[in-house]
């Protein structure tokens, strides 16, 4: 097999390109414009099924081959998408069972995308056929550096076929109906099943055990669908050619850790929609995506100015997209592609932002993209292959999230919002974090946050115990340790198996209709949405950091936040959803006690570090705001973007970015600035 276009680590920069929308005579002009913008990768074909296979088994690949080689002539590599996100009309009309059915029993119509049932035998056969044909033709093409499976997987189908397969899936997991009935407490409301065939697909407020299994089934079926493609591709591609999927941030149709297990790299589609970039919120989604494979990732799509699908499709401010691009790199992205190169004359997305408009001319945004492309190219050798190194981990758990979503108990108890209630203040201190699966090893971490880790099993408990025994600091929060893997209530009080570690148990939980005052040792504020009344199990070793003040009578003067010191580390239990200011103070205290500190920057300014293999640290300093900020760093630095040396104190212009390395001799002995 031949070697791909470039094996050496490289920052990739590009756009999604659909040559099938345009006459071939136009391609050279588009590709020259790409080259001029320093584009070195293009993603092709992920919706081109009807062009690639216009009738069953008749393949037309020559055009795609020509496009790939014309791009390669200009030094532009290709990422190929399997085109299964948009099954063609000949398939859906000849095999209506390929069409998905929604929860109200309505069959999808042809003409959108995402209209297929991922378990349909006909769909899977067609997916295998087109994937194999593409892999045979392009698997050895040296210009194709990577493959993307489908596009934004996640269709949920409720057809009878899916229901039958779900029943088989349950039988495999539970073996006997007796077991299933017991684990789900089906005597409740006479749900007891006497035959596997009686088990429905859950719709709405159904049995919690059944609902959790349905989410697992969706994960399994999407994974199977994707794995068939990956397995076929691997028979034909060079081992250095990677397979990825473009995930969607916090989207939760399936467990992303399981979906990523069959991939070489994770990537995601990074859209703001209405409004503007939220650097503390979006930054952690990069960390989340990096955590899917625990390695660097790509941003496979991002918006060139504006989208077409939000309430208000406002444009990002000038240079805002540049800060977003650099933030992605700062958090571990090795590639970033705009969606899309040029607006097609027809089709559903005519108004979406692009680099080139309907007339074929560069849009104003093109110039910003050109700048980013030029910068990526210039600093690629410095940055590519370096990694983010974090000693703080956040445990993310899809099953806990689903379980809470099934029964929020307070309509505003949103798992992601609560998770971010902890990540944001940490990010504001510029402390590198990994977001990892709650089932991953914790080796190498010193501080672990487990926001609303509702579902526990013995392995999770053992892992956290071991972590604490080795001196780690663990932060447990409201809604930790309440359910088991079948989504049943654990027989102990929360946090169940973790109660001994925390030195507390939850006597009662309260969904709050009004804020409850909380007084801490170093903050005073309110709890809203959720409050847990904690009971100390070990009064000697556990300290109360905050108590509820008089409110509903039940909570008055009861412990709200506790800490237990253990083996040199600390175990916190935060039973309340605190207001933002109190939360910031509390998180800052936890970080300080755990000796985690980052470089302080003004609000709106971020500094992040990547470390090269040779140990050199690269700092990405980004002003995410439309106003300038003055910053003070603990050392003098060289800015590789501006190609200048910087004193410790300087002004960052609006939306400006610096890529820094320390000037060694300049490390200050003194602490904070005077005056």
| Residues with active-site annotation | 152, 301
Nearer of residues 20 and 301 to ligand GAL, judged by Cβ: 301
Nearer of residues 307 and 527 to ligand GAL, judged by Cβ: 307
Nearer of residues 348 and 630 to ligand GAL, judged by Cβ: 348
Binding mask 424-443 for ligand GAL (x = CB under 6 A): --------------------
286 binds ligand GAL (CB under 6 A): no
CB within 8 Å of 120: residues ≥ 6 apart: 95, 97, 98, 157, 159, 161
250 binds ligand GAL (CB under 6 A): no
Q: Please, which of residues 535-574 interact with ligand GAL by CB under 6 A?
A: none
**Three-class DSSP category at 27:** helix
Nearer of residues 268 and 548 to ligand GAL, judged by Cβ: 268
For tokens 């916190």, the residue is 572
Return d(Cα 449, Cα 393) in angstroms, integer: 6
Measured CA to CA in angstroms, residue 80 lies from 68, 369, 589 at distances of: 9, 22, 48
| Of 447, 445, 472, residue with least CA distance to 569 | 472
Return d(Cα 380, Cα 392) in angstroms, integer: 27
Return d(Cα 386, Cα 392) in angstroms, integer: 18
Return d(Cα 4, Cα 6) in angstroms, integer: 6
342 binds ligand GAL (CB under 6 A): no
In a 13 Å sphere around the CA of 499, the CA atoms on its Cβ side amount to 18
Task: Tell me which stretch binds ligand GAL (CB under 6 A): 25-33, 301-309, 400-408, 488-496.
Answer: 301-309
CB within 8 Å of 640: residues ≥ 6 apart: 378, 379, 382, 659, 660, 661
Minimum distance from CB of 349 to ligand GAL (Å)?
A: 6
**Three-class DSSP category at 415:** helix
**Three-class DSSP category at 53:** coil
Q: Give me 252's structure tokens.
A: 């939760």
478 binds ligand GAL (CB under 6 A): no
Give the chain's end-to-end CA distance (angstroms, integer). Answer: 64
Nearer of residues 339 and 445 to ligand GAL, judged by Cβ: 339
Nearer of residues 269 and 397 to ligand GAL, judged by Cβ: 269
307 binds ligand GAL (CB under 6 A): yes
Nearer of residues 342 and 352 to ligand GAL, judged by Cβ: 352
Nearer of residues 349 and 600 to ligand GAL, judged by Cβ: 349
Among 297, 339, 398, 620, binds ligand GAL (CB under 6 A): 339
352 binds ligand GAL (CB under 6 A): yes
Minimum distance from CB of 226 to ligand GAL (Å)?
A: 15
Return d(Cα 558, Cα 542) in angstroms, integer: 14
Give phi and psi for 355, each to the nearest 5. -90, -30
Binding mask 136-155 for ligand GAL (x = CB under 6 A): ---------------xx---
Reported as type and span, the H/E element at residue 559 is: strand 559-566
Minimum distance from CB of 309 to ligand GAL (Å)?
A: 6
Nearer of residues 77 and 307 to ligand GAL, judged by Cβ: 307
Q: Please, which of residues 252-271 interact with ligand GAL by CB under 6 A?
A: 269, 271
| Of 598, 599, 606, 578, residue with least CA distance to 421 | 578
Farthest CA pair distance, the chain: 80
Minimum distance from CB of 180 to ligand GAL (Å)?
A: 37
Q: Give me 422's structure tokens.
A: 């902890």
Nearer of residues 352 and 533 to ligand GAL, judged by Cβ: 352
Reported as type and span, the H/E element at residue 620 is: strand 617-623
For tokens 């509820």, the residue is 548
| Of 111, 86, 115, 100, residue with least CA distance to 18 | 86
Nearer of residues 267 and 566 to ligand GAL, judged by Cβ: 267
Q: What is the dihedral of CA 648, 652, 658, 660, to 10 degrees?
A: 10
**392 within 8 A of 379, measured Cβ to Cβ:** no
Give phi and psi for 413, each to the nearest 5. -80, 90
Q: Please, which of residues 39-78 interact with ligand GAL by CB under 6 A?
A: none
Minimum distance from CB of 145 to ligand GAL (Å)?
A: 20
Size of the site for ligand GAL (CB under 6 A): 10
Return d(Cα 544, Cα 547) in angstroms, integer: 7
Answer whether the bond into residue 11 is a cis peptide, omega within 30°: no
Reading phi first (left if > 0) and then psi (alpha if -120 to 50, else beta), residue 511 is in beta
Query: Which residue number places its CB atom closest to ligand GAL?
Result: 307
**Three-class DSSP category at 528:** strand
301 binds ligand GAL (CB under 6 A): yes
Question: What is the DSSP annotation of 286-312?
Answer: HHHHHHHHTS-EEEEEE-SS--SSSSS
Other Cβ atoms within 10 Å of 538 Cβ, number: 12
| Of 486, 385, 498, 384, residue with least CA distance to 452 | 498
CB within 8 Å of 297: residues ≥ 6 apart: 265, 266, 267, 268, 286, 289, 290, 332, 333, 334
Measured CA to CA in angstroms, residue 165 lies from 24, 221, 258 at distances of: 45, 9, 19
Minimum distance from CB of 269 to ligand GAL (Å)?
A: 5
What pairing do the DSSP bridges indicate for beta strands 605-611 and 649-652?
A: unpaired
Q: Please, which of residues 151-190 interact with ligand GAL by CB under 6 A?
A: 151-152
Q: What is the dihedral of CA 354, 357, 360, 365, to 10 degrees?
A: -60
Q: Which residues lie near ligand GAL (CB under 6 A)?
A: 151-152, 269, 271, 301, 307, 309, 339, 349, 352
């Amino acid at each position: 097999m031949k070697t791909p276009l470039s094996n050496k680590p490289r920052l990739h920069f590009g756009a999604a390109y659909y040559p099938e929308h345009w006459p071939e005579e136009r391609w050279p002009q588009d590709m020259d414009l790409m080259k001029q913008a320093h584009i070195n990768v293009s993603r092709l074909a992920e919706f081109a099924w009807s062009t690639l296979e216009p009738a069953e088994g008749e393949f037309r690949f020559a055009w795609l081959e020509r496009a790939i080689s014309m791009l390669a002539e200009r030094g532009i590599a290709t990422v190929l998408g399997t085109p299964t996100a948009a099954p063609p009309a000949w398939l859906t009309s000849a095999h209506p069972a390929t069409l998905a059915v929604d929860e109200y029993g309505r069959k999808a119509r042809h003409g959108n995308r995402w209209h297929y049932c991922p378990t349909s035998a006909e769909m899977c056969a067609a997916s295998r056929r087109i994937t194999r044909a593409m892999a045979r033709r392009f698997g050895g093409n040296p210009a194709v550096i990577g493959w993307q499976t489908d596009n934004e997987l996640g269709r949920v189908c409720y057809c009878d076929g899916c229901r039958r397969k779900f029943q088989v899936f349950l039988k495999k997991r539970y073996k006997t109906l007796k077991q299933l009935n017991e684990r789900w407490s089906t005597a409740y409301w006479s749900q007891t099943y006497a035959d596997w065939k009686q088990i429905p697909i859950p719709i709405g407020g159904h049995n919690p055990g059944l609902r959790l299994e349905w989410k697992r089934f969706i994960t399994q079926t999407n994974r199977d669908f994707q794995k068939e493609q990956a397995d076929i591709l691997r028979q034909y591609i060079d081992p250095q050619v990677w397979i990825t999927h473009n995930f969607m941030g916090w989207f939760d149709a399936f467990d992303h850790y399981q979906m990523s297990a069959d991939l070489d790299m994770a990537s995601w589609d990074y859209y703001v929609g209405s409004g503007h970039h939220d650097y503390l919120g979006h930054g952690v989604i990069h960390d989340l995506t990096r955590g899917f494979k625990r390695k660097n990732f790509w941003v496979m799509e991002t918006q060139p100015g504006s989208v077409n699908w939000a309430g208000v499709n406002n444009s990002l401010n000038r240079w805002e997209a540049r800060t977003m691009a650099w933030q992605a790199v700062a958090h571990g992205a090795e590639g970033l592609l705009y969606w899309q190169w040029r607006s097609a004359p027809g089709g559903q997305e005519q108004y979406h932002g692009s680099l080139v408009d309907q007339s074929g001319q560069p849009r104003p945004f093109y110039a910003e993209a050109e700048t980013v492309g030029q910068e990526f190219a210039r600093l690629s050798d410095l940055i590519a292959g370096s990694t983010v190194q974090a000693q703080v981990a956040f445990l993310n758990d899809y099953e806990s999230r689903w379980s809470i979503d099934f029964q929020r108990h307070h309509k505003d108890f949103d798992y992601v919002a609560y998770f971010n209630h902890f990540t944001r203040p940490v990010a504001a201190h510029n402390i590198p974090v990994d977001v990892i699966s709650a089932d991953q090893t914790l080796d190498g971490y010193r501080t672990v946050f487990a926001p609303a880790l509702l579902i526990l099993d013995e392995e999770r408990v053992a892992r956290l115990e071991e972590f604490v025994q080795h001196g780690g600091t663990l932060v447990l929060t409201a809604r930790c340790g309440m359910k088991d893997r079948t989504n049943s209530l654990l027989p102990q009080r929360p946090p169940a198996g973790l109660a001994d570690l925390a030195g507390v148990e939850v006597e009662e939980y309260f969904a709050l209709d009004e804020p409850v005052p909380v007084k801490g040792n170093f903050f005073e504020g309110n709890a809203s949405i959720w409050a847990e009344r904690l009971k100390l199990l070990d009064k000697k070793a556990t300290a109360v950091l905050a108590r509820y003040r008089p409110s509903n009578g039940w909570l008055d003067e009861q412990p709200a936040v506790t800490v237990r010191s253990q083996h040199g580390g600390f175990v916190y239990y935060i039973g309340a959803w605190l207001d933002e200011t109190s939360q910031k103070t509390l998180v800052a205290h936890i970080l300080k006690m755990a000796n985690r500190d980052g470089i302080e920057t003004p609000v709106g300014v971020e500094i992040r570090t990547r470390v090269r293999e040779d140990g050199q640290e690269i700092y990405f300093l980004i002003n995410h705001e439309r106003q300038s900020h003055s910053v003070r760093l603990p050392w003098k630095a060289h800015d590789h973007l501006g190609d200048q040396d910087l004193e410790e104190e300087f002004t960052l212009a609006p939306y400006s970015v610096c890529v820094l390395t320390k000037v060694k001799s300049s490390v200050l002995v003194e602490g904070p600035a005077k005056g």
